[in-house]
Amino acid sequence: MVNVCDTGVELCGVRLDNPVIPASGTFGFGREFAEFYDLDILGAISVKGTTREARFGNPTPRIAECRGGVINSVGLQNPGIDAVIGEELPALRRIFHKPIIANISGFSIDEYEECCAKIDHEEQVEIIEVNISCPNVHNGGMSFGTSPGSAAAVTRAVKGVTTKPVFMKLSPNVGDIVSIARACEDAGADGICLINTMLGMRIDTMRRRPVIANKMGGFSGDAIFPIALRMVYQVAGACALPVMGCGGVSCADDVIEMMMAGATAVQVGAANLRDPYACMRIVEELPERMRHLGIERLEDIIGVVK
């Protein structure tokens, strides 16, 4: 029986005390959760998605509850890159002393490039996560992450202006996730994060109209875990890059499954919206589950399922 458990992992040279990371968009800029528990128990934090200009977001209502999850259409509400750098990151660093992951979104390659170049200069940030699920305004609104060519173009652009590790966050709303991950790898990405939300919809049957003002939104929660796990397994087996797994993770066993499928670190998303203590609970549960499964070092189980 294992007595001492090592939960530490290494992500592109960045050491994490444990693999548990609140996912971007579900944890604000970190400060919102500091009243619930000591944030320093986390492995890292991926902060709210950031764009060049401040965004109010989509019209309300933006949230629809579902069996096994939730649909959101917040629309990347954020104060803009300059405010994030000048206010949010310094405020988070004062209360959080572990790695910070900056999540960058954009609606053109120029925007991705500009925001990543700015955030690369910030000492508070250890890793840059690039969300390519945004609509490309110069290509009819199709997401950058829906084609290998577009995904590679964003990757090349941001890698040309950054020195920090860059993880490309991929959309699951595609036919072949592996081809897109490989395109990002070939274009110089340092890692892959997957999956982002799936596209979903709810209808108010009394009013006979969509629940969400934007009609459709990102579906996340427990129900998408098997899909996320499958995609992590496929990409980890096809690429030589570290993977951050995300999608439906809500307990320590989910983290272990993700890592066995090939993830080096694991993000927790919708669970934070349902239970603000979700990440704390998972971190506390991990050693017990490791002992139960005879796991001495979490790094030893990364990708053990072939």
Domain annotation covers residue 211: no
Environment class of 213 (CB within 10 Å of its CB; exposed 0-12, middle 13-18, buried 19+): middle
The catalytic residue among 116, 134, 193, 251 is: 134
Give me the pLDDT at residue 133, please: 81
Read off the pLDDT of each residue in 129-136 and give the average, rounded to a whole number: 80
Domain annotation covers residue 206: no
Give me the pLDDT at residue 143, please: 84
Read off the pLDDT of each residue in 4-31 and give the average, rounded to a whole number: 96
User: What does each C-alpha distance from 282 to 12, 251, 289, 300 come to in angstroms?
Assistant: 23, 5, 10, 19
Read off the pLDDT of each residue in 221-236 and give the average, rounded to a whole number: 98
Domain annotation covers residue 66: no
Read off the pLDDT of each residue in 155-171 and give the average, rounded to a whole number: 97
Read off the pLDDT of each residue in 261-272 and give the average, rounded to a whole number: 97
288: which 2 tokens? 């017990």
Please count the structural domains in the chain: 1
Mean pLDDT value across the chain = 95
Give me the pLDDT at residue 4, please: 79
CATH value at residue 232: 3.20.20.70
pLDDT above 70: percentage of residues in the chain:
96
Domain annotation covers residue 63: no
Q: How far apart are CA 202 and CA 216, in angstroms?
A: 8
Q: How far apart are CA 14 and CA 16, in angstroms?
A: 7
Read off the pLDDT of each residue in 238-261 and give the average, rounded to a whole number: 98
Among 136, 247, 150, CA closest to 195: 247
Domain annotation covers residue 144: yes
Does the active-site annotation cover 239? Answer: no
Q: How far apart are CA 244 and CA 21, in angstroms?
A: 9
Are 111 and 85 spatial neighbours (Cβ–Cβ below 8 Å)?
A: no
Read off the pLDDT of each residue in 87-115 and give the average, rounded to a whole number: 96
124: which 2 tokens? 């508070």
Give me the pLDDT at residue 281, please: 98
Residue 140: is its pLDDT beyond 70?
no
Give me the pLDDT at residue 67, please: 92
Read off the pLDDT of each residue in 257-262 and give the average, rounded to a whole number: 98
Give me the pLDDT at residue 246, please: 97
Domain annotation covers residue 145: yes
Domain annotation covers residue 65: no
Give me the pLDDT at residue 135, please: 58
Domain annotation covers residue 258: yes
Residue 230: is its pLDDT beyond 90?
yes
Q: How far apart are CA 303 and CA 282, in angstroms?
A: 20
Range(s) of the domain holding residue 13: 9-58+76-198+220-301
What is the spatial order of strands in the sheet that 69-72 belongs to?
A: 63-66, 69-72, 216-220, 198-201
Read off the pLDDT of each residue in 154-172 and give the average, rounded to a whole number: 97
Q: Which residues pair with 199 in a beta bridge?
A: 218
Strand 100-104 to 45-46 pairing: parallel
How do residues 171-210 score in pLDDT, each as one tens digit?
999 999 999 999 999 999 999 999 999 999 999 999 999 9
Residue 236: is its pLDDT beyond 80?
yes
Residue 139: is its pLDDT beyond 60?
no
pLDDT above 90: percentage of residues in the chain:
93
